[in-house]
Amino acid sequence: GAVVSQHPSRVICKSGTSVKIECRSLDFQATTMFWYRQFPKKSLMLMATSNEGSKATYEQGVEKDKFLINHASLTLSTLTVTSAHPEDSSFYICSARVPGQGVYEQFFGPGTRLTVL
Amino acid sequence: AQTVTQSQPEMSVQEAETVTLSCTYDTSESNYYLFWYKQPPSRQMILVIRQEAYKQQNATENRFSVNFQKAAKSFSLKISDSQLGDTAMYFCAFKKTGTASKLTFGTGTRLQVTL
């Protein structure tokens, strides 16, 4: 199956700093990637849909100036948490849709655990 | 908007036994896709099984099968011959047709397989 990687797997930062998380499709080109947030023992909440070469589409209630998404190439999308605060601590997961593999399949990255002190 | 409900927060099953996880959903769409994803302790999301709503036949993948009841908007997952490696969170998910449509997840069921 298609492989999606995320880097870093975990990050600890101080309050007020910015953190960038990378999502890469390793063996395919992904025109669309998705960013999710997952709180402990909770479900995945879609934050935004990232489209290569265009602006991301954010879900209602997600601050686009807080969570900057860039999808500059067909294999890389980045999520930058700007001016992070402790309430931004969470598990962030990306997924990518594989073109030509049917319209229903998303492959997920292994996630990034963000802890803001 | 679509909603997905998983009414069982936690379940336990003994190894080699069969367990069924429940999922109901609400939608006004006539055609859509349904999924079960597994999230083991590693947190890596893994697709277990999928079902196209226009197909009446229930999907099956080895020990995993679904009972899809479209009129009742029910989509349960049956795991046969449970194995210790099946211990995980299981999420039911819904997707409308269309390449840009997103996945809507249920709240999850934590399954523990015991000896």
- A69-73's contacts with Cβ under 8 Å and 24+ in sequence apart are A69/A35, A71/A33
Question: Which residues of chain A does B109 touch, with a Cβ-Cβ cutoff of 8 Å?
Answer: none
Work out the average pLDDT over A96-103.
70
Query: Looking at chain A, which residue has its C-alpha nearest residue B47?
Result: A107
| pLDDT value for A45 | 93
Given a cut of 60, whether residue B71 has pLDDT beyond it is yes
Work out the average pLDDT over B96-103.
79
Average pLDDT taken over every residue of chain A: 91
CA angle B17, B71, B74 (to 5 degrees): 30
Q: How confident is the model over B81-95, as pLDDT tens digits?
A: 999 999 999 999 999
The distance of A13 to chain B (nearest Cα, Å) reads: 21
| Local confidence band at A103 (pLDDT 50, 70, 90 cut-offs) | low
Given a cut of 60, whether residue B62 has pLDDT beyond it is yes
Interchain proximity A93–B45, CB inside 8 Å: yes
The distance of A63 to chain B (nearest Cα, Å) reads: 19
Q: How confident is the model over A62-85, as pLDDT tens digits?
A: 999 999 999 989 899 999 999 999
Average pLDDT taken over every residue of chain B: 94
Interchain proximity B44–A91, CB inside 8 Å: no
Given a cut of 70, whether residue A104 has pLDDT beyond it is no
Query: Looking at chain B, which residue has its C-alpha nearest residue A101?
Result: B99
Listed residue (A107, A109, A115) closest to A7, CA to CA: A109
Tokens 């309050």 — which residue?
A: A15
Q: What single string gives the DSSP state of each residue in B21-60?
A: E--EEE-S-SSEEEEEEEE-TT---EEEEEEETT--SPPE
* Pairing state between β B32-39 and B10-14: unpaired
The distance of A93 to chain B (nearest Cα, Å) reads: 9
Interchain proximity B45–A104, CB inside 8 Å: no
Work out the average pLDDT over B20-32.
95
Question: Which residues of chain B does A49 touch, with a Cβ-Cβ cutoff of 8 Å?
Answer: 100, 102
Work out the average pLDDT over B68-90.
97
Query: Does B47 contact chain A (CB < 8 Å)?
Result: yes
Measured CB to CB, residues of chain A less than 8 Å from chain B are 32, 34, 41-46, 49, 91, 93, 95, 97, 103-108, 110-111
Interchain proximity B100–A46, CB inside 8 Å: no
